[in-house]
Amino acid sequence: MRSPISTLVALGACFLFLTIATGDPQRKTCVVQGGGTNATDDAPHILHAFRKCGQHGTVIFEPKDYYVNSVMKISWLKDVDIDIHGRLVWSTDIMYWLNNSMDVGYQNQSTAFIIGGDNVRINAFDVGTFDGNGDYWYQWIREQPNTSNYPGRPHAVTFSHLTNSVIRGLRFLRSQMWTMSIIYSENVILDSIFVNNTGNFAQSSNTDGADTIRSSHITFNNWTVYNGDDSIALKANSTDIKITNSRFFNGLGIAIGSIGQYKDQFETVERVTVDNINYDNTLHAFYVKTWTADQNGYPPNGGGGGLGYLSDVKVQNLNTTGLRGAAFSISQCTRFSGAPGVGNCTNSEFQIKNVEIDRLFGTSESTQVTGLQCSAVAPCTNITVLEANLRLTNGTQAKQYLCGNVVNTIGFECTGAACVGSSATGGC
């Protein structure tokens, strides 16, 4: 006969979550227990907990490690609290993820984890962590011929069709690729998010802090991002976006794009507000990257020929330390590593207009305040730079405002021509 204790142990092994009764009989709480070892995949038990408590309930991750060895798609959430006190660790089985990661729905990108639903409240209390084990990816990807967007290399998490939701206090360590993609979502606040994609034994690549796609009314507040790529990037049909009170280290800065990658598709980025940002050792403070009018290959690495515009952008109260390139850069000649020939760098039909940079201060290694390489077919118009004061290490002021095909500058005069050449990071 089995003892009561052994029976309890057996039951705990079979059901790796607990359901707790609450004062509200309509709401349930599921506490995910976890298997306690990377030999056990906790993904099925996490999914089970969300199926049971993901609508009008609460899902709690305890202060322990959970091991995720398979993809998870949780798209049915409604009026749910998700409390994350522990660490979710993704496996290093690269071949599994390459063969099983899920389609994001843009640029042939893929993801390891999809979260979607309405009125979702995630609180990680500044301790809950998604650990992508990215060192293994960073080392592996550098041995491949395509290091930019390798097919099947997953984003850490994708918020897809997420509405009226708040994500707070979540930490990301060494994400597999982009940390976060946000697509077909609206009215989402992402507050107090920490991202560190600095590799322990391999240099990271293409590890954006976050990317928005076909989403509106998204707020990024109080972010800290350490990475080697875009700190935050806004891609096709991102509207009413706010980025405030944040700190970015070692990456490329805030990016618009790349955009215009799909031939004949009309895309926009509109009504963007950036306020109170500190940069340390980033390439730019703010930059825009569009493809040319010539289609060369297909996404994720090739493309071009897209239509549309960027408009109504205000970027203000920027403080820089050791900026590595032009503070404000535009390149309409995007080309990724491994992409086919780039085409004509000044023929893009995607227009950039009504962009204002106001109160830009700090130190820079570059003499360029602007490097604006715009299209001759659809010139950049109504570009404003006010109160820019960047100092070089010798104390002199950065005074170069380089421009090409810019109409109606406000607050500055162009001092020379911008370089013209292919780029994935602004400039040449």
Catalytic residues: 229
Structure tokens of 81?
Answer: 């609290």
CB 297 within 8 A of CB 336: no
**How does 323-349 read in b/e, with b if 16+ C-beta sit within 10 Å?**
bbbbbbbbbbbbbbebbeebbbbbbbb
Name the CA radius of gyration of the chain, rounded. 23
